[in-house]
A and B are shown apart, each in its own frame.
Chain A
Amino acid sequence: MSVLVYTESENGSFKKTAFEVVSYAKAIATELGTTLTAVSINASNTSQLGVYGADKVLEITNDSLANFDAQGYADAISQAAASQDATVVVLSQTANAKFMAPLVAVNLEAGYVSNVVALPQSTTPFKIKHSVYTNKAFSLTQINTPVKIIGLGKNAYGLHENAADAVSEAFSPSIQQSNTKVISVDKATDKVTIADAEVVVSAGRGLKGPENWGMIEEMATILGAATACSKPVSDMGWRSHGEHVGQTGKPVAATLYIAIGISGAIQHLAGINSSKVKVVINTDPEAPFFKAADYGIVGDAFEIVPQLNEKLKAFKAQNA
């Protein structure tokens, strides 16, 4: 018996979510009285994982896994889990992790629960809380299979240091040639993604037109934030679909979510519900978003946002 965690990397460096899933998986391993093995694919500097509690790291170095391939990655992780006799496998909820998790679950004949928000409530029987109805509710779900797969929601647990040895071991899974080939990747490398962002600055129809997004981009730059938008804004083509936040768009689990000129339709609120602190700037004091927010300013975005940007710049300069 052991706990296995997949630690995702990009260009060889671990993502922040990798440290969060290690922190979380370590807590489960401790609860079960067993060890934590991390598995990395083409990552360097794996000793970092020891900071958060990895006892062992299975390092996979394989050129055929240079591009993400769900089938290949799922097979690699499944073989790593089997080699460690893992009874719990922890994954993050990045786009790639969500892509391959169901494949790992079929490989390992495991029950899989996604969008998990807390440590298991009990381990025998294994009951775990996860968000359902697009963050409008939680379900306490019991997993019946010997092997359990947990998809941990972003920012659901946080980083917890817990020093362990992170003994490195090479692992060579057998990977079949994939039928699916990556032709091209289109990704802005200079922008913070909604998935990675701690702060998200989001704007809606209140901005009146795509030409007015300069001040939103500016705020995002000052705060190191990602930009996002409401559904009508993406439907009208003011911003790309990739920025659409809400029930049929992206979920946002940020530390700080700033909503500017967004009224707060129930579908939008569902998408941002798991963000910690929500700030609303809107001219309409009756906007439903104020009921879901922590802090609010009633006023015109075109007056408030430029002021806020100036003050935030000064604040950042002072607190840098």
Chain B
Amino acid sequence: MVENLGITRFSKPKKSTTIKITITMKILVCISHVPDTTSKINFTENDTKFDTNGVNFVINPNDEFGLTRAMWFKEKQGASVHVINVGGPETEPTLRKALAIGADEAIRIDTPATDGYSVAVQLASVAKQGGYDLIIGGRESIDYNGGMVPGMVAKIIGANFINTCISLEVEDANITAIREIDGGKETLQTTLPLVIGGQKGLVEESDLRIPNMRGIMQARSKPLHVKPAMEQSPRSEATTFEKPAPRGAVKLVDTVDELIDLLHHEAKVI
């Protein structure tokens, strides 16, 4: 393990001697299975269910930035990377894609993803039992936009938490992270275990990986564990959905004077 570039931890000092144990950082990346960003959103069953007809599902973009950063930790620091999703069997292709990108193992908790808290409870249970050092989630999923799961997981397992994380460096158990704030950014120092709500910036768009044939072939034989869910009643439930009212036609104007006049007198916004 001497060559291992993973984390170094120190056990409690025994008198004057210090035992140095080198272990590998364990990363759990939470993957939400969401309609791709170009999807047309429709509902069925009297507007109570999302219409999956013709919809292409992908790894939630915010999670994909985190997954790609996790690959960096795997390749440069020898971390192990597991991915996890809460959902039915239909979400497995999304987990296989994460394996094809390079994750070592996948876990699917076999229950429909309902409210954010219920999902967080399932994830927290695996995070705790698996002894993960770093749990990477996305700032929000692009379907429910709840923006709550990573924070709840952190609180439930008693880990540190950084939201809207756009840079993450790990050295031993020490973390330097940057988070986006309104109108700027903030640099933070904290320690493992840590949960982040990640987003673009953790890696650049151009760093995202398209699985190659070798990755896809390997992913077929990587473990995908299906685990039963813990009992958890939802704290909130979507009852019905609606789409925004169709908007009126655009008013095209020829001159900037007309535009200023309309913005002032009609729209009353300047």
Q: Which residues of A are in contact with B by a Cβ distance under 8 Å? A: 70-71, 74, 94-96, 98-103, 105-107, 110-115, 127, 131-145, 179-188, 191, 193-196, 199, 223, 235, 241-242, 244, 247-249, 255-256, 266-267, 270, 273, 276-277, 279-280, 290-298, 304, 307-308, 311-312, 315, 319
Contacts and interface: CB of A to CB of B under 8 A. Distances in A.
B16 interface: no
Interface string B1-39: 000000000000000000000000000000000010110
A137 B242 contact: yes
Interface string B233-270: 11111111111100110111110110110111001011
Contacts of A297: 252-254, 256, 259
A187 B181 contact: yes
B147 A311 contact: no
B236 A111 contact: yes
A235 B151 contact: no
B145 A131 contact: yes
B196 to A, nearest CB: 11
A295 B255 CA distance: 12
A267 B151 CA distance: 25
B41 A133 contact: yes
Contacts of B116: 102, 112
B92 interface: no
B270 A223 contact: yes
Given A71-B161, A186-B184, A295 B263 contact: yes
Contact of B239 (A99, A114, A127, A196): A127
B142 A247 contact: yes
A187 to B, nearest CB: 3
B182 interface: yes
Q: Is the interface of A mostly helix, strand, loop or mixed?
A: mixed
A74 B155 CA distance: 10
Q: Is the interface of B mostly helix, strand, loop or mixed?
A: mixed
Nearest to A285: B252
B244 A144 contact: no
A180 B188 contact: yes
B256 A179 contact: no
B186 A144 contact: no
Q: Which of B43, B188, B199, B247 has the most CB of A within 10 A?
A: B188
B62 interface: yes
A32 to B, nearest CB: 18
B146 to A, nearest CB: 6
Contacts of B260: 308, 311-312, 315
A99 B163 contact: yes
B206 interface: yes
B43 A137 contact: yes
Nearest to B248: A294
Given A139-B241, A142-B239, A280-B250, A70 B163 contact: yes
A114 B185 CA distance: 23
Contact of B200 (A144, A196, A249): A249
B164 A106 contact: no
A241 B143 contact: no
A248 B156 CA distance: 27
Contacts of B102: none
Interface residues of B, number: 80
Given A103-B155, A241-B166, A98 B147 contact: yes
Q: Which of B117, B200, B270 has the most CB of A within 10 A?
A: B270
A132 B241 contact: yes
Given A111-B235, A114-B148, A145-B235, A295 B253 contact: yes
A255 B269 CA distance: 7
Contacts, number: 251
Contacts of A279: 259, 263
B135 interface: no
A187 B151 contact: no
A294 B267 contact: yes
Contacts of B234: 144
Nearest to A128: B236
B201 interface: yes
5 contacts: A102-B150, A110-B235, A137-B243, A144-B234, A187-B185
Nearest to A112: B148
A74 B242 CA distance: 32
B199 to A, nearest CB: 7
B235 A248 contact: no
Nearest to B206: A235
B94 interface: no
Contacts of B263: 256, 277, 279, 295
Interface in B157-178: 160-164, 166, 176
Interface string B214-239: 00000000000000000001111111
Contact of A247 (B43, B61, B190, B264): B61
B41 A102 contact: no
Contacts of B149: 102
B67 to A, nearest CB: 14
Contacts of B156: 106
A138 B241 contact: yes
Nearest to A311: B256
